[in-house]
Chain A
């Protein structure tokens, strides 16, 4: 695991604090979507399938900061859309760093080198560029439906690393992914010098009509096992080792849909980052009025049956780490030995 010690400490004290207060539902990572506009048009991406007047909208800086303060999560992930197209991205990141939030700016990196040359960001332990990479050149360019994007992303990563920024990658794996190629991809990313990698199986947004191409649970376990079995110590993952073990089918977690709450131009999204079943006007309203019992695998909800995505299950893994000595011990052992 490659999460810096200061970040681990922040998360650990935050989670333990929530447990001491006996808070049943608490957020871990705020998914802050300032806009849906993107400079790519990946097939099946539900985030960009909106009328033009919606794609032109974005949150104000004040709305973003109010959501961050209201939510209180120690980490803020900024996906989108493409956040480097958000006109207030520089000031937003500065404000979040000033609030000591650990920021993951999720980007396809097409604009990264340009934005860095513009001096929009300063290196900080609180800021990490999380670059979307769905595999090696062929797989990535196919996933984003445009040739040349892999090379642009690599150039963006190099540029950020040269300037002293933290860089991680985030990879969504779809049905048909080749474990051998993915192991090669992990080697390539680590050789590039990224701090760590994040991986997750894909999920179809309910409004994106493509269902059959997404991994089902058993096939997903098999894929991740073949991909991660005997993981070399060179591979660093910027996520909980218990979550990786969950992906490999070695432990089971129920979803924690409130763990990564999502805020965007429509409000606080119910119930999670992936499903859009309505919006609440405030974070408190989201927590209080969402029928949480209707979500997660045990609920029997068809939409949740095969979901193993990080946004619902990584908070469960983190909660498990701090929920028992055994969870804590397993996390420490996996972190120290690198064995999953």
Chain B
């Protein structure tokens, strides 16, 4: 896996302030796996973070939890931690990786 493809899977960053939270949320938004959000009331939300908006009075994230038909909307202010707990479905799935595997298979079969 190249540097560009390094996965955040398993990452549990320290969140010390609002700026860090915003940066981590951006990474969670780009992440192609589920994340776990720890909230201020001790509740945990596991799911796919598919949206965030900081251009509104009360910035929020939106998460699809497995088995839920509608998305949950959670204000940034309630998030204490973001952990990258789900499998990264994009990791190692690039076209380049596939070409390498294919070439290796061809070489192995003598084609």
| A contacts, CB < 8 Å to B | 43-44, 46, 49-51, 53-54, 57, 142, 145, 174, 206-213, 265-267, 278-279, 289
A43 lies within 8 A of B94 (CB): yes
For A267, the closest partner residue in chain B by CB is B51
A57 proximity list for chain B (CB < 8 A): 64
A43-B94, A145-B98 known; A207 vs B32 contact (CB < 8 Å): yes
Write the nearest CB–CB distance from B29 to chain A, whole angstroms.
8
A266-B50, A267-B51 known; A54 vs B64 contact (CB < 8 Å): yes
Q: In the complex, given contacts A44-B94, A211-B4, what are 16 additional A-B residue pairs having Cβ atoms less than 8 angstroms apart?
A: A49-B90, A50-B89, A51-B87, A53-B48, A53-B64, A53-B67, A57-B64, A207-B90, A208-B93, A209-B2, A209-B5, A209-B94, A266-B50, A267-B51, A278-B53, A289-B55
State the CA gap A50–B64 with chains docked (Å): 12
What are 26 A-to-B residue pairs whose CB atoms are below 8 Å? Answer: A43-B94, A44-B98, A46-B90, A49-B90, A50-B32, A50-B48, A50-B89, A51-B32, A51-B34, A51-B48, A51-B87, A51-B89, A53-B48, A53-B66, A54-B50, A207-B30, A207-B32, A208-B93, A209-B4, A209-B5, A209-B94, A210-B96, A213-B95, A265-B64, A266-B50, A279-B51
B64 lies within 8 A of A49 (CB): no
A57-B64, A279-B51 known; A208 vs B90 contact (CB < 8 Å): yes
State the CA gap A176–B50 with chains docked (Å): 33
For A291, the closest partner residue in chain B by CB is B55
For B88, the closest partner residue in chain A by CB is A49
For B47, the closest partner residue in chain A by CB is A53
A289 proximity list for chain B (CB < 8 A): 55
Write the nearest CB–CB distance from A180 to chain B, whole angstroms.
22
B52 within 8 Å of A (CB atoms): yes
B86 lies within 8 A of A51 (CB): yes
A266 proximity list for chain B (CB < 8 A): 50-51, 62
| B contacts, CB < 8 Å to A | 2, 4-5, 29-30, 32-34, 47-48, 50-53, 55, 62, 64, 66-67, 86-87, 89-90, 93-99, 102
B93 lies within 8 A of A43 (CB): yes
A49 lies within 8 A of B5 (CB): no
For B96, the closest partner residue in chain A by CB is A210
B4 proximity list for chain A (CB < 8 A): 209, 211
State the CA gap A154–B97 with chains docked (Å): 28
State the CA gap A278–B59 with chains docked (Å): 13
B32 proximity list for chain A (CB < 8 A): 49-51, 207
A51 proximity list for chain B (CB < 8 A): 32-34, 48, 66, 86-87, 89
B67 lies within 8 A of A44 (CB): no
B93 lies within 8 A of A49 (CB): yes
A279 lies within 8 A of B50 (CB): yes
A54-B64, A207-B30, A278-B52 known; A49 vs B89 contact (CB < 8 Å): yes
